[in-house]
């Protein structure tokens, strides 16, 4: 039964770039990860730890050098072909020449949906991200935060069960970022979507996630998995709650551990402490 | 806003034209009538009325008959010649544009073609057009496919296409490769086929690169057609008028300039056509300063 299968199952995966050349890089070595359905999992770590590579492997944009990846009980490539997941990047990646609504319709168009059905779904998605009045504008007429919400709407347009996000809020200012985090949690709760989220912000990972996966570089690997599970519904008060700070401390210590070789490194480079 | 910019540009164009005319007249005024020699080498052009007629005599020539005693005014002859060449250039432009875009697609699709083909495309542009023109006419004359016989004018269009396709293929190739990695990954994540990616992403992303390429191609087509008319002696076009009138340069020096300006206007008309396409295609894009 594929319904019982975990959303993502990564077993013994390694990814080596430029193998057999002097530029050989071990991006990932021996990675195991299991993400249950409905879970929100963040991947965090300093630059070069392979967190984006891991996300791209799950998305089947890259092939692993060794090991297996299953998404919803199917092979990663099968899942990609069936568009089982939606994806959002740091750059919203909206097409300048398409209106907001047409951007959201893009994945549906590629799936061969008819026009009326596409338009209806685009309207629904715009309601979901609370931007219904912007359907006929062009992306460059919107603010960065709005563009990112449209990108999320596009990623979710085909109602995928899995959402893969690569630092989607990395280019936003702090205020917009916190607002977007709340919105993302609301949207995922409404749509019951599983999320794998790459970030290098510790508070962001703790605020959003059920589990935070801590990674370290050279070679890229998972060093620790921290259960966060902040109690109850997340509100602005959550950011001042003890649980939240405990979570942050735990993740920070996890990251420190990965840098035992950098004896005098006070803060972990490439990871925001805000 | 846009209207004001258009008005400003038009005004600048007129000012620039007036500037060139003023410079011309200024040199006529100060320059030596029989040219100037520096250390025995003729460097300064002659400023006499035969070599450099006054601007006003060139302009007034348009209103006079083409030949002494004939009823047709010269502006009518130049206009119909320009119109004829314009149509040939348009055929050459469409032909060259299609070939250019086609080559760009093939090169973007298969890297091996880009490596193998591009050097030859560059090489093709070093072949002198004048040498090529009689060959194309000769080959075309022998071509007969069923009821289709090669009309003489088609050779001129083909030579126009020969100059037009190169900038189009290079510019389009650059444009097709300009789609950002994130957008390509996105299309890949949708399991989009190469064709879907081409139509929905690569082509729209290429438009800002294709417009200047097509502008170069359009003027290239005009040059190709005019040169082909001159070197193959094709009648009816502006190129033919230029050599005919040049023969009368001693007796009627202003005459040849009427045809030269006609050719320049023809190039502008073609470039204007592409500019109109640009406005149409880019109307919904972010308004940024174009380099």
**pLDDT tens for residues A220-251?**
888 888 888 776 667 777 777 777 788 888 88
Same domain, B88 and B165: yes
> Can you list the residues of chain A whose pLDDT is less than 50?
1, 260-268
Number of domains forming the structure of chain B: 2
Best residue in A80, A84, A92, A93 for a mutation probing chain B (most B CBs within 10 Å): A93
**Cβ separation A61–B188 shorter than 8 A:** yes
Write the residue in B182, B196, B286 that is nearest to A93 by C-beta: B182
Same domain, B135 and B174: yes
Does position B101 have pLDDT exceeding 90, yes or no? yes
Whole-angstrom distance, CA of residue B105 vs CA of residue B109 = 6
**Cβ separation B189–A93 shorter than 8 A:** no
Query: What distance lies between CA A244 and its chain's CA centroid?
Result: 20
- What pLDDT is attached to residue A262? 46
A chain contacts of residue B183, beta-carbon cutoff 8 Å:
93, 95
B101 belongs to a structural domain: yes
A chain contacts of residue B207, beta-carbon cutoff 8 Å:
97
User: What range defines the domain where residue B3 resides?
Assistant: 1-52
B116 belongs to a structural domain: yes
**Cβ separation B190–A106 shorter than 8 A:** yes
Cβ-count burial of A42 within 10 angstroms (0-12 exposed, 13-18 middle, 19+ buried)? buried
- What pLDDT is attached to residue A73? 84
B169 belongs to a structural domain: yes
DSSP-assigned beta bridge partners for residue A221: A216
Same domain, B271 and B204: yes
pLDDT band at B289 (very low <50, low <70, confident <90, very high): very low
Tell which residue, A102, A164, A153, has the closest CA to residue A125.
A153
- What pLDDT is attached to residue B23? 92
For residue A142, give both structure tokens: 């919107």
Whole-angstrom distance, CA of residue A28 vs CA of residue A53 = 8
Same domain, B113 and B229: yes
Domains of chain A and any CATH numbers:
2-84+160-257 (3.40.50.300), 94-156 (no CATH)
- What pLDDT is attached to residue A260? 47
Does position B245 have pLDDT exceeding 60, yes or no? yes
pLDDT band at B104 (very low <50, low <70, confident <90, very high): very high
CB A72 within 8 A of CB A35: no
In 3-state terms, what secondary structure has residue A90?
Answer: coil
pLDDT band at B134 (very low <50, low <70, confident <90, very high): confident
Whole-angstrom distance, CA of residue A33 vs CA of residue A71 = 12
B175 belongs to a structural domain: yes
Same domain, B254 and B132: yes
Tell which residue, A179, A227, A186, has the closest CA to residue A204.
A179
Same domain, B34 and B175: no
B chain contacts of residue A94, beta-carbon cutoff 8 Å:
none
Same domain, B25 and B63: no
Tell which residue, A69, A72, A60, has the closest CA to residue A13.
A69
B286 belongs to a structural domain: no
CB A172 within 8 A of CB A144: yes
DSSP-assigned beta bridge partners for residue A68: A11
Same domain, B48 and B110: no
B209 φ, ψ (degrees, to nearest 5): -85, -30
Whole-angstrom distance, CA of residue A196 vs CA of residue A184 = 12
Q: What is the largest CA-CA distance in chain B?
A: 75
A185-to-A122, A155, A161, A204 alpha-carbon distances in Å? 20, 15, 15, 12
- What pLDDT is attached to residue B202? 93
Beta strand pairing call for A25-35 and A8-17: antiparallel
Does position B106 have pLDDT exceeding 80, yes or no? yes
The CATH number given to whatever domain includes residue B181 is 1.10.3720.10
B289 belongs to a structural domain: no
- What pLDDT is attached to residue B54? 87
For residue A72, give both structure tokens: 């919803």
Beta strand pairing call for A221-227 and A211-216: antiparallel
Whole-angstrom distance, CA of residue A215 vs CA of residue A218 = 10
Answer whether A197 touches B (CB < 8 Å).
no
- What pLDDT is attached to residue A266? 43
Same domain, B194 and B252: yes
Best residue in B182, B189, B201 for a mutation probing chain A (most A CBs within 10 Å): B189
- What pLDDT is attached to residue A259? 52
B291 belongs to a structural domain: no
Whole-angstrom distance, CA of residue B159 vs CA of residue B133 = 7
CB B202 within 8 A of CB B179: yes
Query: What distance lies between CA A185 and its chain's CA centroid?
Result: 12
In 3-state terms, what secondary structure has residue B283?
Answer: coil
**Distance in Å, alpha carbon of A46 to nearest chain B alpha carbon:** 21
What's this model's pTM, rounded to 2 decimal places?
0.79
Letter string b/e over residues A127-136, b meaning 16 or more CB atoms within 10 A of that residue's CB: ebbebeebbe
Q: Rounded mean pLDDT of B271-282?
A: 86
Whole-angstrom distance, CA of residue B194 vs CA of residue B101 = 16
Kindly write down the DSSP assignment for every residue of B196-225, as one continuous string: HHIIIIIHHHHHHHHHHHHHHHHHHHHHHH
Same domain, B81 and B171: yes
Least confident of B96-105, B144-153, B184-193, B250-259: B144-153
B144 φ, ψ (degrees, to nearest 5): -150, 110
Same domain, B139 and B275: yes
Helix or strand (DSSP H, E) at B40 = none
Tell which residue, B156, B33, B50, B170, has the closest CA to residue B107.
B170
Same domain, B259 and B160: yes
């Amino acid at each position: 039964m594929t319904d019982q299968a975990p959303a993502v199952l990564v077993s013994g995966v390694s990814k080596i770039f430029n193998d057999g050349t002097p530029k050989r890089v071990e991006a990932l070595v021996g990675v195991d990860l299991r993400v249950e359905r409905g879970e929100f999992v963040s991947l965090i770590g300093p630059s070069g730890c392979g967190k984006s590579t891991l996300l791209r492997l799950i998305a089947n944009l890259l092939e692993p050098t060794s090991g297996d990846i299953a998404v919803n009980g199917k092979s990663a490539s099968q899942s990609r072909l069936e568009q089982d997941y939606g994806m959002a990047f740091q750059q919203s990646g909206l097409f300048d020449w398409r209106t907001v609504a047409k951007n959201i319709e893009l994945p549906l168009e590629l799936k061969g949906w008819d026009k009326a059905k596409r338009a209806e779904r685009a309207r629904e998605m715009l309601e979901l991200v609370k931007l219904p009045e912007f359907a006929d504008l062009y992306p460059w007429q919107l603010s960065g935060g709005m563009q990112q919400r449209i990108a999320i709407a596009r990623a979710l347009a085909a109602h995928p069960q899995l959402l893969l996000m690569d630092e989607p809020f990395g280019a936003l200012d702090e205020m917009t970022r916190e607002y977007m985090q709340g919105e993302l949690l609301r949207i995922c709760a409404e749509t019951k979507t599983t999320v794998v989220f790459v970030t290098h912000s510790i508070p962001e990972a703790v605020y959003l996630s059920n589990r935070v996966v801590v990674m370290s570089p050279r070679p890229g690997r998972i060093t620790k998995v921290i259960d966060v599970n902040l109690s109850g519904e997340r509100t602005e008060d959550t950011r001042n709650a003890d649980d939240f700070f405990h979570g942050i401390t735990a993740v920070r210590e996890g990251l420190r551990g990965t840098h035992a070789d950098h004896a005098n490194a006070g803060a972990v480079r490439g990871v925001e402490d805000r | 806003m846009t209207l004001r910019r258009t008005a400003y540009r038009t005004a600048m164009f007129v000012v620039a034209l007036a500037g060139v005319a003023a410079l011309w007249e200024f040199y006529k005024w100060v320059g030596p009538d029989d040219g100037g020699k520096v250390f025995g080498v003729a460097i300064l052009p002659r400023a006499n009325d035969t070599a450099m007629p006054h601007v006003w005599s060139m302009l007034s020539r348009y209103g006079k008959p083409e030949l002494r005693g004939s009823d047709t005014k010269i502006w009518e002859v130049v206009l119909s010649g320009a119109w004829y060449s314009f149509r040939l250039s348009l055929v050459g432009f469409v032909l060259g544009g299609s070939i250019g875009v086609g080559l760009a697609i093939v090169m973007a699709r298969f890297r091996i073609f880009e490596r193998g083909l591009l050097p030859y495309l560059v090489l093709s542009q070093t072949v002198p057009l004048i040498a090529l023109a009689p060959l194309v006419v000769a080959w075309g004359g022998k071509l007969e496919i069923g009821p289709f016989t090669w009309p003489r004018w088609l050779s001129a269009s083909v030579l126009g296409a020969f100059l037009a396709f190169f900038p189009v293929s290079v510019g389009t190739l650059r444009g097709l490769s300009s789609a950002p990695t994130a957008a390509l990954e996105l299309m890949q994540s949708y399991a989009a086929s190469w064709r879907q990616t081409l139509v929905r992403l690569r082509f729209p992303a290429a438009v800002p690169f294709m417009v200047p390429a097509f502008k170069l191609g359009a003027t290239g087509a005009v040059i190709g057609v005019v040169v082909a008319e001159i070197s193959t002696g094709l009648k009816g076009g502006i190129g033919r008028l230029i050599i005919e009138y040049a023969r009368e340069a001693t007796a009627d020096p202003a005459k040849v300039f009427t045809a030269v300006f006609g050719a320049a206007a023809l190039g502008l008309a073609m470039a204007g056509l592409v500019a109109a396409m640009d406005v149409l295609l880019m109307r919904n894009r972010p308004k940024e300063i174009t380099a």
